[in-house]
Structure 1
């Protein structure tokens, strides 16, 4: 029996759901823990933007930048005289480095759950099943990269699209989902 036959549509669906859940829960964790700090940081900018008739930056979008920064995806920030500066707000702020643990932890948990649904018996099968969380995480990461774009005139503040897709959307769920899936098969406990 091939690996595809053993994993099946149910496992792929579980991986997709697990990936979306890991993405949403990761964003919600960052939102809940960082909302007040982000709103405070945005007050001055939003007051100036309001004064000149611009749109204020919504906190939920800026929190999205932090969420992508927790995946080591830089935020592209346009400069007043042209050009773009790349920024990782998690790396440049004191006390936020714990956010780097959130996406991997949630993806490992999603990988464990997916491997359990797949009834993976070997670490190889567990890793393959766990990696299926990419089926949900990748589309969510791509959608989020566009959702968290903030227009500033003709420029935008946005997560870097290439690393949002390749690193946050593909590499993270493949690696950490596979680790969780392999661990699930080693932990046993299935009936």
Structure 2
């Protein structure tokens, strides 16, 4: 496509690119970690089912790792009231390499979008790359609630505010912009 100005925002391609980046990133985390998660959940799920509860699906715990990779803590009820948080990656219960995935997929999304649009000015590429957040934010916001495990009076899952801000806004805007700027900088 011809070079375009920063005022011509590619809304639909940006949304599609963001959604695809989110879906592929989750898929990679799932394929990489699901078997390990299932193994770790066997004992806990057996106890939960014995007590008449519903077992925790592996795809939800993989979602927790997905959010942990965005530095979004998992929050749970604490004994004696209140809530406590944990990050399975930071605590060493999951590979540190998971932290690389969100920036990597969002950089690639920014590059793909800017290459598709055909921008060559780094500033325009960076601005265009931020729009990847449109497609990434919606599934990130929905996912905060989709991967939550609830009981009658409590829930366990990603911290809502951090999930919305870090996973839904900060990561896609920052790394989409960097990817967009790099794509424009390296364009022919």
TM-score (norm 2): 0.94
Alignment length (residue pairs): 185
Moved over 4 A (4+): none
1:172 and 1:129 map into 2 onto residues whose CA distance is 15
TM-score (norm 1): 0.92
Deviations 1:139-158 (A, max 9, x none): 11101001011013311001
1:95 and 1:151 map into 2 onto residues whose CA distance is 23
Partner of 1:110: 109
Tell me, yes or no, if the aligned pair for 1:114 and 1:132 is still in contact at 8 Å. Answer: no
Higher helix residue share: 1
Superposition map of 1:45-124 within 5 A: 45-93=44-92, 96-124=95-123
- List gaps (5 residues or longer) in structure 2: none
Partner of 1:29: 28
- List gaps (5 residues or longer) in structure 1: none
1:55 is paired with a residue whose SS is: coil
Tell me, yes or no, if the aligned pair for 1:112 and 1:181 is still in contact at 8 Å. Answer: yes
1:94 and 1:60 map into 2 onto residues whose CA distance is 17
After superposition, the CA RMSD in angstroms is 1.4
1:131 and 1:106 map into 2 onto residues whose CA distance is 13
2:184 and 2:14 map into 1 onto residues whose CA distance is 15
1:168 and 1:23 map into 2 onto residues whose CA distance is 10
1:2 and 1:102 map into 2 onto residues whose CA distance is 30
2:145 and 2:166 map into 1 onto residues whose CA distance is 16
1:141 and 1:90 map into 2 onto residues whose CA distance is 19
Tell me, yes or no, if the aligned pair for 2:6 and 2:128 is still in contact at 8 Å. Answer: no
Partner of 1:3: 6
